[in-house]
């Protein structure tokens, strides 16, 4: 169970304020679809994104990044060695790293790659319901490509068992975002359904989790729940001005950039499950 007495609103604001104050450097090895929105999400939150994935420069660069985000969205065999080396370098340097197992159940190749990455000790794994179920059960199928065919609440047990097996914090996004360390489970219910109609919102919230974990790796559970809630709040405020997915994309980024303490303290919706 989660800690029902936690001051989640205060915790979430502290993480956002720390990201703005320290501007952590977040290395992203990500898919071609998400690079732009992910970098702009990190900048709007006050972090410093770098989309570097060349195997040759990882030994110089990765140990100096404050966090690493690895996303397998447009995976091919030639990208995998860089993802693995970057994860190893992050762990060796005591830096947190976060895995987004996009479409983990879409093929055996992708599932095996994701399982190998899980073995390299990610600090956090964030996926949608179908991705977390596929990873936890090591099963191909029951997915709709990069989109989920499961409600996040269908994946609570899968998330707990994946967290226990991997020793990572596991987050399942959806109408209610589920966050677990294998024992505690909390739900973050911010956000609007139209966020699903913008490609790379999932990838971008995973990058935001990386920035939040960067400023306090010892509180990865709290950082993950806070990042999901804050991104959802930016979506809620953005939706008040949006006419559809394209303008929501713009207003979400503007709202994340402009979020103030009063809005965070009144909008955060995180509670025990
Ligand atoms: N039905 C919903 N209501 C509110 N927010 C949602 C809903 N579905 C997804 N979100 C939010 O959209 C973002 C992307 O989540 P999701 O679509 O599950 O990821 P992915 O794009 O990886 O499948 C997350 O911040 C999540 O909280
Ligand atoms: C459409 C698409 N195809 C391969 S990666 C990708 C982006 C997926 O982004 P998200 O998981 O955030 O929806
Ligand atoms: Mg995704």
pLDDT band at 142 (very low <50, low <70, confident <90, very high): confident
Q: Where are the alpha helices (DSSP H) in the chain?
A: 8-22, 35-45, 58-61, 80-92, 108-118, 129-137, 156-166, 201-215, 220-239, 245-258, 261-267
Please give the pLDDT value at position 6: 86
Asked whether the predicted pLDDT for residue 3 surpasses 60, the reply is no
pLDDT at 48 over 50: yes
Q: Evaluate if residue 232 carries a pLDDT over 50.
A: yes
- The label of the residue with tokens 């690079």 reads 35
Residue 272 has pLDDT above 90, yes or no: yes
Contact 59, 71 (CB under 8 A): no
Q: Give the per-residue pLDDT at 25.
A: 99
Residue of 146, 147, 207 to test ligand 2 pocket, by largest number of atoms within 8 Å of CB: 146
Residues with CB under 6 A from ligand 2: 31, 33-34, 73-74, 102, 146, 199-203
CA nearest to 210, candidates 199, 224, 222: 224
Residue 207, SS3?
Answer: helix
pLDDT in tens, 95-111: 999 999 999 999 999 99
The CATH number that domain 8-272 falls under is 3.40.1190.20
Q: How confident is the model at residue 11 (pLDDT cuts 50, 70, 90)?
A: very high
The percent of residues in the chain predicted with pLDDT above 90, rounded, is 97
Question: What span, in angstroms and rounded, lies between the C-alpha atoms of 122 and 96?
Answer: 7
Residue of minimum CA distance from atom 17 in ligand 1: 196
Give me the residue spans of the domains in the chain: 8-272
Residues with CB under 5 A from ligand 3 (ion): 102, 202
Q: From 73, 105, 207, give the residue whose CB has the most ligand 2 atoms within 8 Å, as the site to mutate.
A: 73
Q: Parallel, antiparallel, or unpaired: how do β-strands 185-188 and 124-128 relate?
A: unpaired
pTM confidence score: 0.98
Task: Give the C-alpha separation, 116 to 110, whole Å.
Answer: 10
| pLDDT of the residue at 4 | 57
Is any ligand 1 atom within 6 A of the Cβ of residue 231? yes
Site to probe by mutation for ligand 1, drawn from 151, 170, 174 as the one with most ligand atoms within 8 Å of Cβ, is: 174
2 vs 142, which has greater pLDDT? 142
Question: Looking at residues 63-84, what average pLDDT do you find?
Answer: 98
Please check the confidence at residue 1 and state whether its pLDDT lies above 70.
no
pLDDT at 32 over 50: yes
**Residues 235, 238, 244, 246, Cα dihedral to 10°:** -90
Q: How far apart are CA 146 and CA 195, in angstroms?
A: 14
pLDDT in tens, 167-221: 999 999 999 999 999 999 999 999 999 999 999 999 999 999 999 999 999 999 9
- Across the chain, what does the average pLDDT equal? 97
pLDDT band at 5 (very low <50, low <70, confident <90, very high): low
The ligand that comes nearest to the alpha carbon of residue 100 is 3
| 173 CA to centre of ligand 1 in angstroms | 5
In this prediction, does ipTM exceed 0.90?
A: yes
Give me the phi and psi of 150, to 5 degrees please: -125, 150
């Amino acid at each position: 169970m989660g800690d029902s007495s936690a001051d989640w609103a205060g915790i979430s604001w502290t993480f956002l304020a720390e990201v703005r104050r320290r501007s952590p450097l977040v290395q992203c090895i990500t898919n071609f679809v998400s690079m732009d929105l992910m970098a702009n999400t990190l900048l709007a939150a006050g972090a410093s994104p770098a989309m570097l994935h060349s195997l040759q420069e990882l030994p110089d660069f990765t140990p100096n990044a404050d966090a690493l985000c690895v996303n397998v969205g447009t995976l091919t065999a030639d990208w995998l060695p860089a993802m693995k080396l970057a994860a190893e370098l992050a762990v060796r340097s005591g830096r947190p790293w976060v895995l987004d197992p996009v479409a983990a159940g879409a093929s055996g190749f992708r599932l095996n790659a994701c399982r190998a990455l899980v073995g390299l000790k990610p600090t956090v794994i964030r996926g949608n319901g179908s991705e977390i179920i596929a990873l936890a059960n090591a099963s191909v199928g029951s997915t709709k490509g990069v989109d989920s065919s499961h409600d996040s609440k269908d994946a609570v047990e899968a998330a707990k068992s994946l967290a226990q097996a991997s020793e990572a914090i596991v987050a399942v996004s959806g109408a209610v975002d589920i966050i677990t360390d294998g024992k505690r489970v909390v739900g973050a219910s911010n956000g609007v359904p139209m966020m699903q109609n913008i490609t790379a919102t999932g990838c971008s919230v995973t990058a935001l989790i990386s920035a939040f974990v960067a400023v306090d790796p010892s509180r990865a559970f709290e950082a993950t729940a806070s990042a999901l809630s804050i991104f959802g709040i930016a979506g809620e405020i953005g939706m008040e001005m949006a006419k559809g997915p394209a303008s929501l994309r713009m207003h979400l980024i503007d709202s994340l950039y402009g979020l103030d303490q009063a809005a965070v303290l009144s909008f955060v919706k995180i509670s025990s499950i």
